[in-house]
């Protein structure tokens, strides 16, 4: 007998590294908290720990090494073909360290999410923790957003704020931010799976209401 009337959301996760966000999704799916099926995990780098996490969970893995391609366009075209083979409802970028072509972002518009370790629109790009410290920010954090052609620029779904503490270095701050990543990414994906979170005309909506530019705001309830 089916346990739910809504079929599970088919998700393909793209990674380039350790895959701690992937692990949060695997754990959520296994506990039944997250109504998704991870159809495949694809990495652009061989031998990363995220692939081990996926294999340990019995998930299909594939490596598509960008170094074997002559251009960004040919890599992205091959990646699209690889992803589409699994017919996902949602593509999840979880530490996928690639700049994407407009063709790629257009193809998955409204059905691709990314997590970026800053309070977007602040600190797009790399080294966000150090840059937040250098700028003397009182708060830092992480944003889940829909992916558009603009790097780290699509409409935000959820943002978690963490305080910057006296004496913080980039590693300590990153750890605190990562704990929030593992909360808000599964939450955003759950809302998407339930049909509560959608992208419409370039904006993120939650339960039919326009979200603020920062997305749904969560304050970390730990230091």
Per CB under 6 A, the segment of 19-27, 39-47, 79-87, 158-166 that binds ligand GRF is 19-27
Helix (H) or strand (E) holding 33: none
DSSP 194: T
Q: How far is the CB of 37 from ligand GRF (least distance, A)?
A: 19
180 near ligand GRF, rule: CB under 6 A: no
Burial of 127 (0-12, 13-18, 19+ CB in 10 A): exposed
18 near ligand GRF, rule: CB under 6 A: yes
19 near ligand GRF, rule: CB under 6 A: yes
155 near ligand GRF, rule: CB under 6 A: no
CB closer to ligand GRF out of 20 and 61: 20
DSSP 67: G
- Active-site hit among 66, 85, 107, 116: 116
- 116 tagged catalytic: yes
Instruction: Out of 76, 152, 168, 181, name the contact with ligand GRF by CB under 6 A.
Output: 181
Residues 22, 185, 201, 96: is their CA dihedral positive or negative? negative
Copy the structure tokens of residue 83. 């992803």
Beta carbons within 8 Å of 216's beta carbon, 6+ residues apart: 157, 158, 159, 206
Binding site for ligand GRF (CB under 6 A): 15, 17-22, 50, 94-95, 115-117, 142, 178, 181
Active site residues: 116
């Amino acid at each position: 007998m089916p346990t739910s009337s809504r079929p599970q959301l088919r998700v393909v996760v793209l990674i380039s590294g350790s895959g701690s966000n992937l692990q949060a999704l695997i754990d959520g799916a296994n506990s039944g908290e997250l109504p998704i099926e991870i159809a495949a995990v694809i990495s652009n780098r061989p031998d990363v720990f995220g692939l081990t996490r996926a294999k340990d969970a019995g998930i299909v893995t594939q490596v598509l090494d960008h170094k074997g391609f002559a251009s960004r366009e040919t890599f992205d075209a091959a990646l699209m073909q690889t992803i589409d083979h699994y017919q996902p409802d949602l593509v999840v970028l979880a530490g996928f360290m690639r700049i994407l072509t407009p063709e790629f972002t257009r193809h998955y518009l409204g059905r691709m999410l990314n997590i970026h370790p800053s309070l977007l629109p602040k600190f797009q790009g790399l080294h966000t923790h150090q840059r937040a410290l250098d700028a003397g920010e009182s708060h830092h954090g992480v944003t889940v957003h829909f992916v558009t052609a603009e790097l780290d620029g699509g409409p935000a779904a959820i943002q978690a704020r963490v305080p910057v503490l006296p004496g913080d270095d980039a590693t300590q701050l990153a750890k605190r931010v990562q704990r929030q990543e593992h909360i808000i990414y599964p939450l955003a994906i759950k809302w998407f799976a339930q049909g509560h979170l959608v992208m419409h005309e370039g904006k993120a909506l939650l339960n039919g209401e326009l979200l603020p530019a920062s997305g749904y705001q969560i304050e970390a309830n730990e230091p």
